[in-house]
A and B are shown apart, each in its own frame.
Chain A
Amino acid sequence: MSITSLPSASTAADPPETVALQDSELTVVGRRHPWRWAGVAVVLVLLAMFVHGLITNPGWEWPTFFQFFTTRTIFSALGVTIRLTVYGTVLGFALGAVIASMRLSRSPFLQVVSWGYIWAFRSIPLIVQLLFWFNLAYLYQELSLGIPFGPEFVHFSTNNLFGPLGAAVLGLALHQAAYAAEIIRGGIISVDAGQLEAAAALGIPRLRQFFRIVLPQAMRSILPNAANEVISLFKGTSIVSVMAIPELFYQVQVIYGRNSRVVPLLMVATVWYIVLTTLLSIAQFYVERYFARGTTRELPPTPIQRVRRGWRALQLKARAA
């Protein structure tokens, strides 16, 4: 097979132009994608098999699942999980933003402090850190405010300072802040240096340069990573079950410890994690879309717009037929 034989082969494949049509009368035939349909068929079959298994296999114990899925205990546990996630995210990212800006500042002092923080909290396993905060009273029975090595002004009993939930939030937030700082810093340094230069050349004040010019553009690369962090924190809150905090995973363990229905109760937790992660993912899509303004000539359609367009196209086709 030489390359020279190709043109003659393609000529042979072309049907002879029997009817002389004007160029303007030729019909355009869109490219067909048969393999897509084959792929869809395969995936649908696999999905059907999976769903069939879920329904028919008695091992899943669906009646037990529904018995517990919406009980008050589960809801209040879910509430604890959500609260841990929200506090962890908000405090973590707020502190993370401060640490990131310290790391990017021109002061070597702030840079080193920030680097040290990130180094420490990425090095210590989260579970160790949580247990440490939880057992702080074991190391330091009393905390006090005062002049270092000098007189003290206020005393706290460590046990009263924060309960288990406070210790959990503190641990999660401090841990989260180290990762959030790196994500925010990554977003900021990905913004073209020319943007800051232009802002400086225009005399825009430094704080404004950051919040008005750099941050909105950095958000594009911060958001997908930040969403990852929020979602992984949301599921990662299950780690505080070691502190006997009644969040979703801990509560489910307690229940199946009593009634030994392990599988359906794990499914209760799983389905709730899936539901809330789905909501977060949808929110992520729209927030990202908001920060994408100006990056392309036209924003890609939302899924809803896509479905509407597809439906309209189908209607038109039906009317034509």
Chain B
Amino acid sequence: MSNAMVSLQGVHKSFGDLQVLKGVDLEVRAGTVTVILGPSGSGKSTLLRSINHLEKVDKGLIRIDGRLVGYRRRGDKLHELREREILQQRSQVGFVFQNFNLFGHLTALQNVVEAPVSAQRRKRSAVEPFALELLERVGVGDKAHVYPRQLSGGQQQRVAIARALALRPKVLLFDEPTSALDPELVGEVLDVIKELARAGDTMVVVTHEIGFAREVADTVVFMDDGRIVESGPPAAVLDNPTHERTRSFISKVL
């Protein structure tokens, strides 16, 4: 609990009869990169989405920087927060989607500026130079006034990363950020994420890119069937998995 930026305790989640998360405990220290690996349907994305309350969990506690996500504790009762408060909390977490989900009717710059202005009530005139700087940083500075559909997939995802960064989030969550991209565009997006890791941002990344995990992750978490099977430094989990399930997954992916 001491310097955990994100902490999950006994998180359970079901969709109807399907149990997706069956008791997940996870700690992400500030300034570290955690990569979550695992087969499809193992609950990786659900776990990530529950961290910023896009999914409401059935049981268990999630904290960001020590504060409960989605609830307020009074005595021994947890009261659900109001929508406005949940939105407020979310603006401290950057989320990057697999399908980018850029706002199609807004230019790249407008996409980046929107949340700081409307969610954090910062002045547009102050946010715009910062937004341009961010677009520059992810390598699409010359595309500020272009609509998303006029950009390549890799460029769209980099704009989406700039949009997430614009909130100055405490944590960045990436949900398979390169899965919707052509193979030759994957590199440019991963480079941006590596750059952020070097700058010391706290990140949780769900991905299938083992090479990226090996190079960037401080912690690799392997999930299967709604549980964390094993976790540790990349060298341990990727090269010397102790669990049979991890071994067979990694041998298939590599």
Contacts and interface: CB of A to CB of B under 8 A. Distances in A.
Answer whether A and B are interacting partners.
yes
Interface of A: 192, 194-195, 197-206, 208, 212-213, 216-217, 291, 293-297
Contact of A203 (B88, B102, B106, B150): B88
Contacts of B118: 204-205, 208, 212
Most buried by A among B83, B84, B93, B104: B104
A303 B88 CA distance: 47
A204 B87 contact: yes
Contacts of A206: 83-84, 87
B148 A197 contact: no
Interface string B132-169: 00000000000000011110000000000001100100
A-B pairs with lowest CB-CB distance, top 4: A203-B91, A294-B147, A198-B101, A202-B115
26 contacts: A194-B97, A194-B99, A195-B101, A197-B101, A198-B95, A198-B97, A198-B103, A200-B54, A200-B90, A201-B52, A201-B54, A202-B95, A202-B163, A202-B164, A203-B91, A204-B87, A204-B114, A204-B118, A204-B119, A212-B118, A216-B105, A217-B105, A291-B105, A293-B105, A295-B104, A295-B149
Contacts of B84: 205-206
Given A200-B54, A201-B95, A206-B83, A294 B90 contact: no
Contacts of B103: 195, 198-199, 213, 217
B97 A294 contact: no
A202 B120 CA distance: 10
A197 B97 contact: yes
Contacts of A197: 54, 97, 101
A203 B97 contact: no
Interface in B46-88: 52, 54, 83-84, 87-88
A194 B101 contact: yes
Contacts of B120: 203
Nearest to B87: A203
Contacts of B95: 198, 201-202
A110 to B, nearest CB: 15
Contact of A294 (B88, B99, B106, B119): B106
Given A202-B90, A203-B115, 18 more contacts: A194-B99, A197-B97, A201-B93, A202-B115, A202-B163, A202-B164, A203-B89, A203-B92, A203-B167, A204-B118, A204-B119, A217-B103, A293-B105, A294-B104, A294-B149, A295-B104, A295-B149, A296-B149
